[in-house]
Amino acid sequence: MTGTIDPADWDQRRTSFGSVAADYAALRPGYPPDVVAFLLGDRPRRVLDLGAGTGLLTDVLVAAGHEVIAVDPSAEMLGQLSARHPGVPTDVGGAEAIPLPDGSVDAVVAGQAAHWFDPEPAAAELRRVLRPGGVVGLVWNVRDETVPWVAALGAALAAEARGHEADQGVVARIAAALPADVATARSEIVQRMTPEQVVGGIGTRSYVATMTADARAAFLGGIRDLLAAHPHTRGRDVLDLPYRTDAHRLTPR
């Protein structure tokens, strides 16, 4: 567990995504192919997509020719993944008790998920399921707040998000527990979205999904108002929402 969130709140957030699975699949960003190449190299591997969610990282893994197994705590999220990739086997489970045999995969990757892991028990499970020479890849998309309207959006979200959308030190903790050497790469991706889709994407964030219906409507109404008023988004039908993609390759020693 990471961050400063109360443990009960953290667990509620961690398990909230099933309620927004369809919107998550439609409105969250994918991942650039060069990130998967950095993490896994060019040859096909047997890969566990851990915290696979609706399959946004699975998309890129399959396109690159890897054999993928998808595990996620939410059956609803995996239902979205299976609709996209009916040939990918799925199982409900978490990083602290991975439902796979020992030494069964060449790599474990996690997109937008490892900040929900309990690092030390997760590291033990990662080492258990990896074959010799295997790697762990941890990836996050983070909004590029060098863009003024995206910075304004981030400021509006900050009090509720409390930083709980990225690494927060989990990479270092997992690397220390494995132990593993770490290499890092950065890429970027841009979503072209309507303002209402931007609002809907914010609605899939755990801190919004766990609000009461009235609080959620008020919060998202504030985001809608921000986009309607900001000089860089006002009156625009389509917005480019940029992300930087941070990828960390952990090679167990």
* Residue range 116-128, pLDDT digits in tens: 999 999 999 999 9
**The pLDDT of residue 159:** 83
**Residue 62 covered by a domain:** yes
**The pLDDT of residue 2:** 42
DSSP string, 221-238: HHHHHHHHHSTTTTT-S-
Q: pLDDT band at residue 130, thresholds of 50, 70 and 90?
A: very high
Percent of the chain with pLDDT over 90: 86
**Residue 42 covered by a domain:** yes
Burial state string for 80-90 with b = 16 or more CB within 10 A and e = fewer than 16: bbbeebeebeb
Q: pLDDT band at residue 1, thresholds of 50, 70 and 90?
A: very low
**Residue 79 covered by a domain:** yes
Give the pTM: 0.90
Q: Is it the case that residue 3 has pLDDT exceeding 50?
A: no
**Residue 53 covered by a domain:** yes
Of 15-19, 151-155, 178-182, 195-199, where does mean pLDDT reach its minimum?
15-19
Of 11-25, 197-211, 225-239, where does mean pLDDT reach its minimum?
11-25
User: What is the tally of structural domains in the chain?
Assistant: 1
Q: Are 140 and 170 in contact (CB under 8 A)?
A: no
| Mean pLDDT within 4-29 | 69
Q: pLDDT band at residue 165, thresholds of 50, 70 and 90?
A: low
**Residue 238 covered by a domain:** no
**Residue 225 covered by a domain:** no
* Residue pointed to by tokens 């990282």: 57
**The pLDDT of residue 206:** 84
Q: Is it the case that residue 105 has pLDDT exceeding 80?
A: yes
* CATH number where 57 lies: 3.40.50.150
**The pLDDT of residue 12:** 54
Q: pLDDT band at residue 13, thresholds of 50, 70 and 90?
A: low
Q: Is it the case that residue 10 has pLDDT exceeding 70?
A: no
Q: pLDDT band at residue 26, thresholds of 50, 70 and 90?
A: very high
Q: pLDDT band at residue 11, thresholds of 50, 70 and 90?
A: low
| 95: containing domain | 7-146+163-190+243-252
Q: Is it the case that residue 186 has pLDDT exceeding 80?
A: yes
| Mean pLDDT within 136-153 | 97
What's the mean pLDDT when you consider all of the chain?
92
Tell me the per-residue pLDDT of 35-69, one tens digit each, with 9 for 90 and over: 999 999 999 999 999 999 999 999 999 999 999 99
**Residue 212 covered by a domain:** no
| Mean pLDDT within 75-81 | 96
**The pLDDT of residue 153:** 97
